[in-house]
């Protein structure tokens, strides 16, 4: 079977310099975060939605190869299924690490945006964030995300499922979040020291007592600057009650409208769209907010997806905390293979963003839905109930994010987010386009992306260093060709089982 040849992306990185500085900077960041944790009420559990449950076992027995009757949640209902599971050999190195935490502050972003003056809300909406910020917050399904991240295959940027590869696509981003996926790539400068930029764009107070070089900023200091230090929604607190408390506490002071908007959007980046496994935000994102009139031209949804891809392998390997916009990943999973604690509310949200259709049970213990339950349910999930084309027939295909992004939905692309370039291997999941999946020699795909999340000792201009990939993006990537002579995906599945099941 012929496959697309491996493309070489020019990489003019000073890798030795990066690697020498990386370890020192990571240690310095951790020390600064630890030192601040005792005094900053916003740097601890605020911003983390963590499930109170035990992690997976240290070792797992191989799933049975005989037909098995299993009680499974599918779309909010319980059904008994008899299946013959495909056992895929996935290196589940994340198991046994205990409680997983998602560093996402959805509640505070949602409430903060709503209590801002109307003029500031309008400016933020024009940046492309209005639709996402209209979604009412929901609980993070920690066991579900834990099992998903176990199955992430870094080499092919895909989740290894019993029924084949699955990859979140730009179509998912556009329909579920309403974020723009078409536009200018998020590639601008990165500096070795952001001190002067923070003073100019945010406030000099953020730099008080800080030693140069400045490369990151505590997210808690952003919320503290507007009177929201330590604000987090209690486990029994209604969203409207939390909103009322935020409205009463917000204090914008006498700062300019531009600075107030930048502080909010910086927090939105660090706690939601580009969340990491740290309570600090890399200041590189602040530079994107220099000219607020230009912020709306960026493909924020594409950058979000690339950032998520870049953090999934680190989440899978070593950390109890996971980065990236995990609520999107959670709803993507519910949409494609409905299970877990999410249910669609009948009659809610017929328009984009479709994330708003879902509700999630607030506590894993309510439904006794633990990691091992999700793991077993996913292993035995009925293959014929996987939803490959969930947006067929949606009435909101004219939504700006969907309409503008539609030309990209069947294209092989490189996802850019500053120093990150991640590959979207759409040819592995053409069933999401409504096509039969041809056999693909997975190892031949190669690796074309790269991620540089470290700090540097000198300034970098990613628009220049990503030159070939920026051009590739601006040209619309490469259309995935449909093989029209296939009657089914049997050949692909046979090769998939041979590769992963052994």
CA dihedral (313, 102, 418, 153) in degrees, to 10, reads 20
Q: Which of 498, 467, 370, 461 is nearest to 57 (CA)?
A: 370
Report pLDDT for 89: 53
Report pLDDT for 424: 92
Report pLDDT for 251: 96
Report pLDDT for 231: 87
How confident is the model over 20-33, as pLDDT tens digits? Answer: 344 434 444 443 44
Report pLDDT for 59: 26
Please tell me the distance from the alpha carbon of residue 500 to that of residue 488, in angstroms, as a whole number. 20
Report pLDDT for 101: 53
Please tell me the distance from the alpha carbon of residue 221 to that of residue 209, in angstroms, as a whole number. 13
Report pLDDT for 461: 65
What are the DSSP E strand ranges found in 33-190? 49-50, 68-74, 77-83, 101-102, 152-153, 158-161, 164-166, 189-190
Report pLDDT for 486: 95
CA distances to 20, 203, 394 from 50, rounded to whole Å, are: 34, 32, 33
pTM, to two decimals: 0.80
Q: Which residues of the chain have pLDDT under 70?
A: 1-104, 314-322, 349, 361-369, 441-466, 502
Report pLDDT for 28: 42
CA distances to 168, 270, 279, 283, 328 from 218, rounded to whole Å, are: 30, 9, 6, 10, 24
β-bridge pairing 321-322 and 101-102 = parallel
* Phi (first) and psi of residue 172, to 5 degrees: -60, -45
Look up residue 278 and give its two tokens.
């740290």
């Amino acid at each position: 079977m012929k496959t697309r040849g491996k493309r070489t992306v020019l990489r003019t990185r000073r890798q030795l310099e990066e690697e020498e500085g990386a370890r020192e900077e990571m240690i310095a960041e951790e020390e600064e975060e630890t030192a601040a944790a005792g005094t900053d009420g916003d740097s601890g559990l605020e911003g983390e939605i963590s499930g109170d449950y035990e992690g997976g076992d240290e070792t797992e027995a191989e799933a049975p190869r005989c037909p098995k009757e299993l009680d499974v949640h599918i779309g909010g209902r319980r059904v008994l299924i008899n299946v013959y599971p495909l056992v895929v050999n996935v290196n589940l190195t994340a198991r046994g690490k205990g409680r997983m935490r998602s560093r996402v502050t959805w509640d505070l972003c949602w409430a903060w945006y709503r209590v801002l003056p109307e003029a500031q809300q309008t400016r933020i909406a024009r940046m492309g964030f209005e639709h996402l910020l209209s979604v009412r917050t929901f609980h993070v399904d920690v066991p579900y995300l834990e099992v998903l991240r176990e199955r992430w295959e870094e080499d092919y940027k895909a989740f290894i499922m019993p029924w084949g590869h699955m990859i979140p696509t730009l179509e998912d981003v556009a329909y579920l979040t309403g974020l723009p996926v078409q536009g200018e790539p998020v590639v601008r400068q990165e500096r070795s020291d952001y001190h002067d930029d923070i003073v100019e764009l945010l406030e000099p107070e953020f730099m008080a007592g800080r030693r140069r070089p400045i490369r990151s900023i505590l997210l808690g200091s952003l919320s503290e600057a507007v009177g929201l230090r330590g604000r987090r929604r209690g486990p029994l607190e209604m969203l409207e009650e939390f909103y009322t408390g935020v409205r009463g506490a917000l204090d914008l002071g006498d700062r300019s409208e531009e600075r107030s908007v930048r502080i909010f959007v910086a927090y939105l980046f660090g706690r939601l769209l580009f969340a990491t496994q740290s309570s600090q935000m890399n200041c590189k994102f602040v530079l994107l907010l220099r000219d607020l009139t230009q912020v709306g031209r960026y493909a924020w949804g594409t950058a979000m997806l690339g950032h998520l891809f870049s953090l999934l392998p680190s989440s899978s390997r070593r950390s109890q905390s996971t980065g990236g916009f995990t609520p999107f990943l959670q709803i993507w999973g519910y949409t494609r293979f409905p299970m877990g604690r999410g249910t669609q509310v009948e009659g809610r949200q017929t328009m984009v963003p479709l994330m708003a259709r879902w509700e999630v049970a607030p506590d894993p213990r309510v439904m006794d839905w633990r990691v091992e339950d999700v793991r077993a349910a996913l292993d035995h999930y009925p293959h014929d109930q996987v939803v490959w084309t969930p947006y067929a027939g949606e009435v909101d295909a004219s939504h700006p994010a969907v309409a503008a992004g539609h030309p990209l939905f069947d294209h092989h692309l490189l996802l850019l987010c500053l120093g990150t370039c991640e590959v979207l291997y759409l040819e592995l999941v053409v069933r999401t386009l409504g096509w039969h999946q041809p056999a693909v020699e997975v190892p031949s795909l190669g690796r074309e992306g790269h991620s540089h999340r470290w700090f540097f000792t000198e300034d970098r201009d990613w628009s220049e260093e990503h030159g070939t990939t920026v051009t590739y993006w601006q040209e619309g990537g490469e259309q995935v060709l449909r093989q029209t002579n296939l009657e089914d995906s049997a050949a692909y599945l046979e090769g998939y089982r041979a590769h992963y099941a052994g």
